[in-house]
Amino acid sequence: MFQYDQVRDGRLPNGESAVIAVVVGADQHPLVLQIANDPQVREIVRRYLGYAPPRLNIRLLWSFVTSVPDAERIAAAQTIDYHFDVQSYNFIYANYYLSDVDTRSGAHAMILASHRKKPLPWLLGSVRQGRDAVLERYGADSEVVIQGPAGFGFIQDASCYHKAIAPVDRERLMLQIRYY
């Protein structure tokens, strides 16, 4: 565990890389709970899933600027490669950028309609796929990079292929709420 202000150039005081961090206790903050239980968002979630999900999981995530290789980012659980989530049978995410986000500060990328019609070997193997394979399967025009100012939010069926773009200029702070 470390404090945010201990991170300098993507490193902790002991030299370890700081790639991504979960903010402890964010799931108990009254404002975060208010956002998670917003009636409009809950209605969108209910309509998409076909029921009002009884559970949610809240994470507030810092993604730091660091020059570590991609393999180290992946080992630290920063999902910078295309993958799909299989955390429960039926789920959806609401994501909110709490910092300004663009392609150089940790934008989220997704492949439209890739939550359907995955090849059988992809379903039986790893949930991770290389960008080239995903774009060959779904088309380059299906890739969407989600950018926005602090406060921007989007709802996503994370059974589609998606990834985080590693921040290179500015760190990203994102609130992620999974309804299931």
| 127-177 per-position pLDDT tens digit | 999 999 999 999 999 999 999 999 999 999 999 999 999 999 999 999 999
Task: Give Cα 127 distance to the centre of its chain.
Answer: 15
Q: What is the CATH number of domain 4-179?
A: 2.60.120.620
Helix (H) or strand (E) segment spanning residue 176 = strand 172-179
- What does the mean pLDDT of the chain come to? 96
Work out the number of other CB atoms within 10 angstroms of the CB of residue 97: 24
Domain boundaries along the sequence of the chain:
4-179
The two structure tokens encoding residue 64: 């730091």
Helix (H) or strand (E) segment spanning residue 124 = helix 120-124
CB 170 within 8 A of CB 104: yes
